Structures are given as C-alpha cells and as structure tokens.
Amino acid sequence: MEALGRQILVEFYDCESAKLNDVEYIESSMLAGTKAARATIISHNFHKFSPYGVSGVVVIAESHVAIHTWPEYNYAAVDIFTCGDTIDPWTIQEFLKDAFNSQNASSMEMKRGLFKVAQGEKLLFKPSAEAEKDY
C-alpha cells in the first residue's frame, strides 16, 4: 500500500495562554514552522475571536497546516497534512510545540489516500524528494 499523504493530529496542552490568544504571534509561528520544514507556502489566513481564541490555516503546496486555540484552557489543536515526502511534518509539530511552550503534547499520525500499487510502481502525481532532484 502506498499513501498519498500523512496527517498529524496534534494536541498541545499547558501552553502559554497569551501566545494562544495573539493572532499575530500564531500567524508568525505557523509561517515560521512551515518554512522550517521547507514547505512551499501558497497562502494563509488567520482570525481572532472575541473574547479569545484564534483559528487559522497555512495552505502549502504539500497540503495545509491548520490551528484552533482555546487560550482559556491553555490548549491548541493543530492539523498538519502533507502529501509526498518532500517535507517532514514532524518538523512543524516540534517547532510549534516550542513556540507555544507546550508542556504536554499528544500526536497521532495517519496515512491518507491509501492505494494498492503494483510492486515497483509509485502513485502518480505524488511529490517526492527524488523527483525534486530532477529539476
């Protein structure tokens, strides 16, 4: 079985409440985390809720990174979805854990888009580190 992508569902607990309620800080941290993983940023959008909480997404060529925060609980939920093997989604997870000063984190990785392919075959249109070397 070959997978089109990897999705990491992350729960950050015991974070700094002020950081989780600061839309500019969240946005800059998400952009820096995706850059640290060498992801290709396409666009991004973030929203501050009243009285607290932030939601946002960074759309990357490799898929997306999304966040929802609950500063009143010192908690953030992050979804990191990447296709291909050109970037390591765990780099983003670790960057954000440090950025939010999370004292406890829980992460689960899932393979997405599983297909059976013939031995020696690869999925079509799947970005890979090997393909990038050809450019």
Q: Catalytic one among 68, 106, 107, 128?
A: 68
63 is catalytic: yes
CA distance 109 to 127: 19
Q: Catalytic one among 15, 29, 63, 64?
A: 63
| Contact predicate 10/110, CB 8 Å | no
83 is catalytic: yes
102 is catalytic: no
- Give the three-class secondary structure for 1: coil
Helix (H) or strand (E) holding 109, with range, is: strand 104-115
Distances from the Cα of 118 to the Cαs of 1, 6, 27, in angstroms? 9, 21, 42
Q: Catalytic one among 15, 29, 64, 83?
A: 83
Which residues are designated catalytic?
63, 68, 83
